[in-house]
Amino acid sequence: MKLRRRAFAATAVTALLGLSSLTGATAVAAEDTAATGYVALGDSYSSGVGAGDYDGSDCKRSANAYPQLWRTANSPSSFDFPACSGARTDDVLANQLGALNSSTGLVSISIGGNDAGFGDTMTACVTQGESACLERVQQARTYIAQTLPGKLDTVYDAIRAKAPSAKVVVLGYPHMYKLDGNCSVGISEKSRAAINAASDDLNEITAKRAADHGYSFGDVRPAFSGHEICSGDEWLHSVTLPVDESYHPTAAGQSGGYLPVLEGLA
């Protein structure tokens, strides 16, 4: 009788352990299955300014932007696209994080260029000459080194708090110019080199902050190599109309530059 009781007890324990294991595995599987939504955060490089076919909002979200292209190719369970033209880190915190939740499986974001004064820098470079350009670029580089890291940390922390299960892909910015390229007019070569150097600073700081939060960094500079302004096969607008599309990726820059980088990391 004692043997039978012990056998029964052993069988019951084994069954309970198996059930516990199965329940845990099922819960993990359910969690993984649930966290399949995609949210695209960020600034004009994410919303697709310069790529055309906009949604009619002030954010100028393009049907040709890389988030829309990734969505079409991968059919996530849900898709939210709050990325907006002109967005800074504070705008992401105030206006874009509401789309994130426990079912978000993928987040993409490009942010930081507007915080560093990208638009004002390019305006100074184009309209005020080399000296003003170099001064403005140096101001941007100082901001990137001293102030932007903390701004990025705040955004990245907030993303994790709102979407704890998400894979986060932080996308950088391309070099604006091909140096010693085929541009015969426009800003000086020294100004072009300074702008590219500021882009390098921005990418390096962003990559480090992303890595320290456990996020993937997508460096788009190699993808845009040979397609910068002055390359002869540009995936970036120079000065154009509408003016706000100047110095932004074209539809080809979104599909050939940004999309493959996201696909490789998502």
Q: State residue 52 phi and psi, 5-degree precision.
A: 75, 180
Confidence grade of residue 28 (pLDDT, cut at 50, 70, 90): very low
CA atoms within 13 Å, Cβ hemisphere of 132: 11
Kindly report, residue by residue over 94-130, the tens digit of the pLDDT. 999 999 999 999 999 999 999 999 999 999 999 999 9
In this structure, what token pair is assigned to residue 54?
């906009």
Q: Would you say 178 and 231 are in contact if contact means Cβ atoms under 8 Å apart?
A: yes
| 20 and 122 housed in the same domain | no
Strand, coil or helix: 156? helix
Distance CA 95, CA 63 (A): 21
Q: In what order do the strands lie in the sheet with 37-42?
A: 79-80, 37-42, 104-110, 167-171, 216-218
Residue with tokens 């849900």: 78
The helix (run of H) or strand (run of E) holding residue 79 is: strand 79-80
| 5 and 53 housed in the same domain | no
Distance CA 61, CA 40 (A): 11
Q: Would you say 39 and 163 are in contact if contact means Cβ atoms under 8 Å apart?
A: yes
pTM over 0.75: yes
| 143 and 190 housed in the same domain | yes
| 137 and 63 housed in the same domain | yes
pLDDT of 34 reads 58
| 29 and 40 housed in the same domain | no
Look over the chain and give the mean of its residue pLDDT values, rounded to a whole number.
90
Domain residue limits at 4: 1-34
| 7 and 120 housed in the same domain | no
Residue 41 has pLDDT above 60, yes or no: yes
Number of other residues whose CB lies within 10 A of the CB of residue 60:
24
CA atoms within 13 Å, Cβ hemisphere of 234: 21
Strand, coil or helix: 76? coil
| 6 and 75 housed in the same domain | no
Residue 31 has pLDDT above 70, yes or no: no
Number of other residues whose CB lies within 10 A of the CB of residue 71:
16
Kindly report, residue by residue over 127-186, the tens digit of the pLDDT. 999 999 999 999 999 999 999 999 999 999 999 999 999 999 999 999 999 999 999 899
| 23 and 46 housed in the same domain | no
Distance CA 18, CA 266 (A): 34
| 3 and 65 housed in the same domain | no
| 81 and 29 housed in the same domain | no
Distance CA 139, CA 117 (A): 9
For the chain, how many structural domains are there in total? 2
| 10 and 132 housed in the same domain | no
Distance CA 235, CA 187 (A): 19
The residues that are catalytic are 44, 248
| 202 and 215 housed in the same domain | yes
Cβ within 8 Å of residue 3, ≥6 positions away? none
Q: What is the CATH number of the domain that holds 221?
A: 3.40.50.1110
Counting beta carbons within 10 angstroms of the beta carbon of residue 49, is it exposed (0 to 12), middle (13 to 18) or buried (19 or more)? buried
The rounded Cα 185 to chain-centroid distance in angstroms is 32
The rounded Cα 90 to chain-centroid distance in angstroms is 15
